[in-house]
Amino acid sequence: MAAPSTLRIAWRNLGRNRKRSLLALSAIAIGQFAFLAVAALMNGYGDDFLNSVTGPLVGHIQVHPHEWRDERSIDLVMNDVDAMLAEIRSDPDVAHASARIYAPVLAALTEDGFMSVVVGIDPEAETHDSGLLPAGTPRGSLGDGSVLVGRGFARRYDIVPGMELAVVGQDVDGSIASGLFTVADSVASSVEIVNNLGIVMTLDDARDLLAMSEDAHEIVIHVRNSDVIDDTVSRLSAAPTLAELEVLPWREVVPQIVAMIGMIDAFLMIILGVVFIAAAAGIANTMLMSTFERTHEFGMLLSLGCGPGRLARMITVEAVILGLVGVGIGSALGLVFLLVTSQTGLDYAALGGGDTYEVAFKGLQMATLVHPRLYVSDVAAGVVAVFLTSLLSVIWPIVRIVRLEPMEAMRT
Amino acid sequence: MNDVLVDVRDVRKDFHVGKITVNALRGLDLEVRKGDFLAIVGPSGSGKTTLLNLIGALDVATGGAVSVFGQDLSALSRRRRAHLRLMSLGFVFQAYNLVPVLTALENVEFVLELQGAGGERRETAMSVLDELSLGELSSRRPNELSGGQQQRVAVARAVAAKPRLVLADEPTANLDSENAEALLRMMRALRDEHDMTFIFSTHDPLVMSYASRVVTLRDGKVISDEQKNSGPDEHRRVN
């Protein structure tokens, strides 16, 4: 704990050359603000991205036949899916489990056909926040030949509710599969295949179309807490009904996305590094100039009997105050940025003069509209980085002070 | 013999400036006794400040021995010398040398804090300022004080912890005669009331007139040591 006068002297010394102190404070504050702003944007993107991945697209855990991920062949099905679902749902950590069927088809409204994908789902099992049809999603009268189509898909082909959609594909036996379905509504989804190509129908309708019995291509599982994913995977892998199947945590299902999330973290670390360097340059420059200018004063203090350790503490406290005030201002600016943008979101496209649009990456829809988000850990990372920088930046001045002889310093 | 606070024996001090060696002190002997109000005088380069620095444990002699309060300074580590300065010596510098960001009161209090004084240090510092008629200046920073006021605050800082020995290097050099005389009266009163010993290095005849003893140096040696009989009420102004 610094003595009262150490704090007092350190604080007041910052006011001796206000321009220099303000310059250093600005460098630190801008660095912290830049870090927080970028972190907020990246978090906004990353969290939406991650929620979509572990939400409707992949879930926390997936079950499917071993070759399914590579081949996506329609006949690679899991049999007796109801028994599997019953066993999976009996696990205490499983919150939701739903079977899905995917089949590429040609769809047509009139004479022209277009590429589409039949997505067979259990509407009841998908009606949760992380499902394909979360509460509030318009579903019309799904089932008995009534289907939903993806919002992008509907927009592209001018499909409106009530239209009839002819679907032609291949069933599990290799024969022609065909059916006529009525569009109940369109559905917006963060899952690209649903949004842009999807004809969403009940499992029963899909099974009828594709000549399947109680089969499905995939089971998507959500656990109650993401910390228990790996344990749940281990338990389910040992379950008798799933013994011949692949039970994978989401990270293994979409390694590219994991790599992208890792890249976001790496990017944030680079920005943090920039903050670190800006703060170090600002504080080190200020402290070096300040200590060189005050050599005579240090000599006087040493003459009075003040120990070098006390002087070192004085300089350190000064640097830490400078750093923390700077990082405090930067954090406040970052929080203001968050307050202003987190509700309305920040639209990159609008900033560039265009309209909001969505792009797809690895099966996910990503919008140009991002809602910035900050965590305490982001603010803390900047504070800790600047605090450490403050300590590092005074090493040289302290080494110099410790070597000072009172009389030599007084002659300066 | 117990009255001897400072004992300087055959002290030499050399400075090296490039390839040239400057012999600042050349076998100097001096005893300073308790209660002395001693002025060390001599022309520039005679070794006054060098001698004061050696007695103040701010520098180390090249040869000979400097003993302060019976302690051989050459045997003390850097840390012990700093401790001696802090706890037993008071310093007054030519250029005041107050901490610019502290008020007069805080400057005085600072030394007490360095010494480890407890919660009463502010009251002690204030009482010293009051004693030296500086109470009304207590909240002013050095840049709000005249040269004379700054030097009086510097004296207050030097004597706040009641050191046995106060070393003052050209304390009146930057003061007009009125302020210089006020300062000397103040230090003389402190010597009398608190049993302190003062050593000055000076060119100022006024300081010599107040001194109880005048030691003259030339070329790093004592050439005269004059004990004066003037009491505190017998000062005379030297013009």
Question: Which tokens hold the place of B133?
Answer: 């008629």
- What mean pLDDT, rounded, does chain B reach? 89
SS3 at position A271: helix
User: Exposed/middle/buried for A140, CB within 10 Å: 0-12, 13-18, 19+?
Assistant: middle
Contact A13/B59, CB-based, under 8 Å? Answer: no
Contact B110/A310, CB-based, under 8 Å? Answer: no
| B116 → chain A, closest CA residue | A3
SS3 at position A195: helix
Q: Say if CB A187 and CB A150 are below 8 A apart.
A: yes
Question: Which tokens hold the place of A35?
Answer: 């870090």
Q: Check CB contact of A7 with chain B, cutoff 8 Å.
A: no
φ, ψ at B164 (rounded to 5°): -75, -25
Average pLDDT over residues B177-188: 87
For residue A161, what is the DSSP state?
T
Label the pairing between strands A218-223 and A94-108: antiparallel
Q: Check CB contact of B69 with chain A, cutoff 8 Å.
A: no
Q: Check CB contact of B99 with chain A, cutoff 8 Å.
A: yes
Q: How crowded is residue B17: how many other Cβ atoms within 10 Å of its Cβ?
A: 7
String of DSSP letters for chain B: -TTEEEEEEEEEEEEEETTEEEEEEEEEEEEEETT-EEEEE-STTSSHHHHHHHHTTSS--SEEEEEETTEEGGGS-HHHHHHHHHHHEEEE-TT----TTS-HHHHHHHHHHHTT--TTHHHHHHHHHHHTT-GGGTT--GGGS-HHHHHHHHHHHHHTT--SEEEEESTTTTS-HHHHHHHHHHHHHHHHHHT-EEEEEE--HHHHHH-SEEEEEETTEEEEEEE----GGG-----
Q: Check CB contact of A402 with chain B, cutoff 8 Å.
A: no
Q: Check CB contact of B87 with chain A, cutoff 8 Å.
A: yes
| A301 → chain B, closest CA residue | B99
H helix runs in A158-294, sequence order: 192-197, 203-210, 229-237, 250-253, 255-293
**pLDDT recorded at residue B235:** 45
Of B59, B99, B157, the CB nearest to A297: B99
Q: Residues of A numbered 336-395 whose beta carbons fall under 8 angstroms of chain B's beta carbons: which are they?
A: none
**pLDDT recorded at residue B229:** 66
CA distance B163 to chain A (A): 12
Query: In the structure, what pLDDT confidence band is assigned to residue B232 with cuts at 50, 70 and 90?
Result: very low
Contact A305/B113, CB-based, under 8 Å? Answer: no
The pLDDT tens digits of the residues spanning B79-90 come to 899 999 999 999
| A13 → chain B, closest CA residue | B101
Q: Residues of A numbered 13-52 whose beta carbons fall under 8 angstroms of chain B's beta carbons: which are they?
A: 13, 15-16
| B161 → chain A, closest CA residue | A304
Average pLDDT over residues B203-215: 93
Question: Which tokens hold the place of A409?
Answer: 């310093």
Label the pairing between strands B63-68 and B71-72: antiparallel
Q: What is the radius of gyration, based on Cα positions, of chain B?
A: 18
Closest Cα partner for B200 from B83, B94, B67? Answer: B94
Of A5, A13, A410, the CB nearest to B113: A5
CA distance A298 to chain B (A): 10
The pLDDT tens digits of the residues spanning B124-171 come to 999 889 888 889 999 999 999 998 899 889 989 998 888 999 999 988
**pLDDT recorded at residue B234:** 45
Q: Report the DSSP beta bridge partners of residue B16.
A: B21
Residue A151: its H or E element: helix A151-157
Closest Cα partner for B224 from B15, B41, B98? Answer: B41
C-alpha dihedral sign at B189, B193, B194, B196: positive
Contact A305/B100, CB-based, under 8 Å? Answer: no
Q: Check CB contact of A228 with chain B, cutoff 8 Å.
A: no
φ, ψ at A98 (rounded to 5°): -145, 145
**pLDDT recorded at residue A344:** 83
Of A297, A305, A407, the CB nearest to B114: A305
Contact A407/B53, CB-based, under 8 Å? Answer: yes
Q: Check CB contact of B12 with chain A, cutoff 8 Å.
A: no
Task: Kindly tell me if the per-residue pLDDT of B237 is higher than 50.
Answer: no
Q: Check CB contact of B156 with chain A, cutoff 8 Å.
A: no
Contact A15/B93, CB-based, under 8 Å? Answer: no
Q: Is pLDDT larger for residue B218 or for residue A385?
A: B218
Cβ–Cβ pairs < 8 A, chains A and B: 60
CA distance A23 to chain B (A): 20
Of B59, B101, B114, the CB nearest to A304: B114
Q: What share of chain A is helix, strand, coil (3-state, %, to 5)?
A: 55, 20, 25
Q: Is pLDDT larger for residue B221 or for residue A408?
A: B221
Q: Residues of A numbered 259-318 whose beta carbons fall under 8 angstroms of chain B's beta carbons: which are they?
A: 296-297, 300-307, 310
Instruction: Provide, as residue numbers in chain B, all residues whose Cβ is less than 8 Å from the Cβ of A321.
Output: none
Q: Check CB contact of B238 with chain A, cutoff 8 Å.
A: no
Contact B79/A13, CB-based, under 8 Å? Answer: no
Q: Say if CB B28 and CB B47 are below 8 A apart.
A: yes
Q: Residues of B numbered 109-138 whose beta carbons fall under 8 angstroms of chain A's beta carbons: which are they?
A: 109-111, 113-115
* pLDDT of chain A, 412 residues: tens digit per residue: 556 778 888 889 888 888 888 988 888 898 889 889 888 888 887 777 777 778 777 889 999 999 888 888 888 999 999 999 999 999 999 999 999 999 999 999 887 889 999 999 998 888 888 888 877 776 667 888 999 999 889 999 999 999 999 999 999 888 999 999 999 998 888 777 888 899 999 999 999 999 998 899 999 999 998 789 999 999 999 998 998 899 999 888 888 878 877 887 788 788 878 877 877 777 788 888 888 888 989 999 999 888 888 899 988 998 899 889 999 999 999 999 999 888 888 877 666 665 555 555 555 556 667 888 889 998 998 889 888 888 888 888 899 888 888 888 887 7
Q: How far apart are CA A39 and CA A33, in angstroms?
A: 10
Residue boundaries of the structural domains of chain B: 4-234
Q: What is the radius of gyration, based on Cα positions, of chain A?
A: 31
Of A12, A304, A407, the CB nearest to B111: A304
Label the pairing between strands B4-17 and B20-33: antiparallel
Question: Which tokens hold the place of A23?
Answer: 């310059």
CATH topology for B4-234 is Rossmann fold (3.40.50)
| B52 → chain A, closest CA residue | A407
Q: Residues of B numbered 172-201 whose beta carbons fall under 8 angstroms of chain A's beta carbons: which are they?
A: none
| B83 → chain A, closest CA residue | A305
